[in-house]
Structure 1
Amino acid sequence: MELGLQGKKFLITGGSRGIGRAIVLAAAHAGADVITCYVQESEYVESLRRELKETGGHHYVIRADVGEIAQIDSLVETAKEKYGRLDGIVNNAGVISHIPFAELAPTEWSRVIDTNLTATYRVIQQALPLLGEGASVVNIGSRGAAAGIPLRAHYTAAKAAMIGLTRSLAKELGGKGIRVNVVAPGVIETEAFDSMPAERAEGLRATYAQKTALARLGRVDELAAPVLFLLSELSAYVTGETLNVDGGI
Structure 2
Amino acid sequence: MKHVIVWGAAGGIGRAVCEELAGDGDTVVAVARDASDLASITRYTVDANLADEASVAQAVLQATAVTEAFDLFVFAAGDITSAKVPEMPLTTWHRILDNNLTAAFLTVQASLPYLAPGAPIVLLGAVHERLRLPGLAAYASAKVALEAFADVLRKETRRRVLVIRPGAVQTPLWKKVPFAMPKQAADAHHVAKQIVGAVAEGRDGVIDL
TM-score with structure 1 setting the length:
0.76
How do residues 223-238 of structure 1 correspond to structure 2 at under 5 angstroms?
A: 223-232=191-200, 234-235=201-202, 238=203
RMSD: 2.1
Letter in 2 for 1:50: S
Aligned residue pairs: how many?
A: 207
Provide the rounded CA distance (Å) in 1 between the counterparts of 2:170 and 2:149.
Answer: 27
**Partner of 2:40: helix, strand, or coil?**
helix
Please state if 1:184 is matched with 2:165. yes
How do residues 1-249 of structure 1 correspond to structure 2 at under 5 angstroms?
A: 7-40=1-34, 45-46=36-37, 48-52=38-42, 59-143=43-127, 145-147=128-130, 148-174=132-158, 178-190=159-171, 204-205=180-181, 208-209=182-183, 216-232=184-200, 234-235=201-202, 238-239=203-204, 241-245=205-209
**Partner of 1:34: helix, strand, or coil?**
strand
Provide the rounded CA distance (Å) in 1 between the counterparts of 2:57 and 2:65.
Answer: 12
Structure 1 regions of 5+ residues with no counterpart?
Answer: 1-6, 53-58, 210-215
Paired residues of 1:138 and 1:230 also in contact (CA < 8 A): no
TM-score with structure 2 setting the length:
0.90
Q: Cα deviation per residue 1:18-50 (whole Å; 9 max; x = unaligned)?
A: 111100100111111111122247xxx43x312
Paired residues of 2:32 and 2:49 also in contact (CA < 8 A): yes
**Partner of 1:61: helix, strand, or coil?**
strand
Provide the rounded CA distance (Å) in 2 between the counterparts of 1:68 and 1:184.
Answer: 25
The Cα shift of 1:191 comes to 5.2
Paired residues of 2:7 and 2:107 also in contact (CA < 8 A): no
Q: Which moved more, 1:32-41 or 1:105-114?
A: 32-41
Paired residues of 1:69 and 1:122 also in contact (CA < 8 A): yes
Larger radius of gyration: 1
Provide the rounded CA distance (Å) in 2 between the counterparts of 1:222 and 1:180.
Answer: 21
**Partner of 2:163: helix, strand, or coil?**
strand
Provide the rounded CA distance (Å) in 2 between the counterparts of 1:142 and 1:179.
Answer: 18
Structure 1 runs of 4+ aligned residues shifted over 4 Å read none
In structure 2, relative to structure 1, the CA distance for the partners of 1:30 and 1:119 (3 Å cut) is same
The Cα shift of 1:123 comes to 1.1
Structure with more of its chain in helix, by fraction: 1
Provide the rounded CA distance (Å) in 2 between the counterparts of 1:61 and 1:149.
Answer: 36
Q: Percent identity?
A: 26
Structure 2 regions of 5+ residues with no counterpart?
Answer: none
